[in-house]
Amino acid sequence: MIRLAVVGDIGSGKSYIARSFGFPVFNADDEVGKLYKNSKVIFKKLKKSLSKYIYTFPINKNELSKAILANQTNLRKIVKIIHPEIKKKMQIFLKKNKKQKIVILDIPLLLENKINKKGDILIFVQSKKSEILKRLKKRKNFNASLIKKFKNIQLILDYKKKKSHFIIKNNFTNDGIKRSINSILQEIL
């Protein structure tokens, strides 16, 4: 099984690119959302760690946002609680898809939390900052301060780009993306 991991900036279109490959995708953000909605265990851990902020189940994203904006260590506490669960979910996904030729990993903190393996093929999604900002502002929960906090715990983009085997320039048009994906697939298969 070939593991392709999509990395890049917040709002660069990583999830769209991941889905565009046409292979099974493990989307960490979706899995985190499910944990917030369904896991009483996660709720109890977060409530214990951030009792001043977390008190509603299913976990309320506004409460999480307030905790994260209050100070940088709160985001690290959340990541420390959530990421072991995401790793478990990823293992289940990989087991379920072990007969697939290719799987796609869409995990924002892949490199930061050392979830990647040596043989993973990293694909860096590069987008113009102005395009990213335009897209982020369209999100209903856009908060510039919150995004800044998330960027603070991520590795710098130049490092991710250097570590990557391929770069897809995402100008948010389908034709260029499809060509890039086909070219990558031809090279690795």
pLDDT of residue 137: 81
Q: 99: pLDDT confidence band, cut at 50, 70 and 90?
A: very high
What is residue 178's three-state secondary structure? Answer: helix
pLDDT of residue 33: 94
pLDDT of residue 53: 95
Q: 131: pLDDT confidence band, cut at 50, 70 and 90?
A: confident
Least confident range of 19-33, 99-113, 121-135:
121-135
Encode burial over 96-122: b for 16+ CB neighbours within 10 A, e otherwise: ebeeeebbbbbbbbbbebebbeeebbb
Angstrom distances, CA of residue 129 to CA of 71, 107, 178:
26, 20, 21
Q: What domains can you pick out in the chain, each with its CATH number?
A: 2-188 (3.40.50.300)
What is residue 71's three-state secondary structure? Answer: coil
Question: Where are any strands of DSSP class E within the chain?
Answer: 2-8, 25-27, 102-106, 121-126, 166-169
Q: How far is CA 21 from the centre of its chain?
A: 16
pLDDT of residue 153: 83
> How far is residue 16's CA from residue 106's CA, in Å, rounded to a whole number?
10
> How far is residue 123's CA from residue 4's CA, in Å, rounded to a whole number?
7
